[in-house]
Amino acid sequence: MNDRVQGEERLTGFRHSRRLVVAATLTLLAGCAVIPKGSTPVTEPVEKGPDANVLPTDAGRHRVALLVPMTGANAAVGQSIANAATMALLDTNAANMRITTYDTATGAGAAATRAIADGNKLILGPLLSSDVTQVAAAARPAKVPMITYSNDSAVASRDVFVMGQAPGQSIARVLGFAKARGIKSVAAIIPTGDYGQRATAGLTQAAQANGIALSAIETYDRGNTSVASAVRRAKDKGRFDALLIADGSRIALQAGPLAGKGVKLLGTELWSGDGAIARSAAMRGAWFATVSDQRFGQFEKSYTGRFGATPSRLATLGYDSVLLTLNVARNWKPGTTFPTAKLYDPQGFIGLDGVFRFTASGMAERAMEVREVGAGTFATVSPAPARF
């Protein structure tokens, strides 16, 4: 932390990162100049892991490992992230970086060990928080940091930077907005499990920070029919102005109609882009917070034109992590330890998902907007800040 860049250099870095993403975004807007259309996926320059007996010899380029699931249940998300990483390199005409993809589905620890042996000095990924510990066991002794796509703040540390959207941040944003609109008391239904635990912690902190009374926090198991019971238990504990449903559309559509007349519905980032919520009359007027989709539409169009498929919404994490790495790489000598101190720039960085910065804990803090559910649409009622 003592190695953080100071004053003018921080501002310069922010301006450079702004120029970098603006240039990349303009390329997306241009459409076909850098991203030609194709019916089959094109994965270069993101490469498959090299032969175990043949190490890369391009000493003039930064070696970065991309650890994502390329097979198994999460392969589609992993492929989207890998494709997006390719797009970021092409959109910025980056020739100083080599990104090699390693499949975590067959063992995240083994993938990390191979990546380290191949000479990579930075790891982008893994996707799942459960894989972070295995990757760290191989990466930490080699002094190779990682920028993971997980949203689990518990895995963040001095050498593990977490890029995903944490539920606590979206909850804090929507509660702050709700407080300004007159909401004084909130009840919540939250799933059991890791996500639910993080949501509960975030809700408790946000309610206290905003002076909002928590009338009830009720949990349920996603695998059974206890959602209605959770809402009923919350109502039995007293009146509340708003009900937070910390889950996706399937649960929200069950719980929303049960909240009661005059109760404002609140959601999390899991509602983002979910048409089922927008189509439900019972969800009209609900608020939730998430990162801005302002740039995602053009990214999605360009991605589809190139790869012939629709990207996962998480694909932007792959794109933005490469932009972030390229920004830091301006002052990073190939073959040396990645300068993690540069990631703590308090001015933050700009990506497709908007402005973000890493806190002292290693967790990404994101600028989020608040949306309101309309008749088949989502309307932004409080834009995401343009800078910190």
DSSP 228-265: HHHHHHHHHT---SEEEE-S-HHHHHHHGGGS-TTPEE
Q: Chain centroid to CA 265: how far?
A: 24
Q: pTM for the full model?
A: 0.83
| pLDDT at residue 200 tops 60 | yes
Helical segments of the chain, H only:
7-30, 75-91, 108-117, 129-139, 167-180, 194-210, 227-236, 249-255, 275-279, 296-307, 315-329
Strands 369-373 and 378-382, sheet pairing = antiparallel
| pLDDT at residue 248 tops 60 | yes
| pLDDT at residue 35 tops 90 | no
Q: What percent of the chain has pLDDT over 70?
A: 85
Q: Give the per-residue pLDDT at 56.
A: 52
Q: For residues 77-95, b (16+ Cβ closer than 10 Å) or e, as one string?
A: bbbbbbbbbbbbbbbbebe
| pLDDT at residue 17 tops 50 | no
Q: Give the per-residue pLDDT at 57.
A: 59
User: Is the omega angle on the peptide bond into residue 126 within 30 degrees of 0, that is, cis?
Assistant: yes
pLDDT band at 274 (very low <50, low <70, confident <90, very high): confident
Note whether 367 and 170 are within 8 A (CB).
Answer: no
| pLDDT at residue 50 tops 90 | no
**pLDDT tens-place string over residues 278-324:** 999 999 999 999 999 999 999 999 999 999 999 999 999 999 999 99
Q: Give the per-residue pLDDT at 222.
A: 86
**pLDDT tens-place string over residues 327-352:** 988 889 999 999 999 999 999 999 99
| pLDDT at residue 164 tops 90 | yes
Q: Give the per-residue pLDDT at 41.
A: 36
Q: Give the per-residue pLDDT at 11.
A: 32
pLDDT band at 230 (very low <50, low <70, confident <90, very high): very high
**pLDDT tens-place string over residues 252-265:** 999 999 999 999 99
The more confident residue out of 5 and 137 is 137
**pLDDT tens-place string over residues 65-122:** 999 999 999 999 999 999 999 999 999 999 999 999 999 999 999 999 999 999 999 9
Closest C-alpha to 115, from 162, 50, 62: 50
Rounded to 5°, angle at Cα 177 from 174 and 182: 120
pLDDT band at 59 (very low <50, low <70, confident <90, very high): confident
* Domains with residue ranges and CATH for the chain: 7-165+296-366 (3.40.50.2300), 167-290 (3.40.50.2300)
Q: Please compute the mean of the pLDDT values over residues 41-45 and round it to a whole number.
A: 39
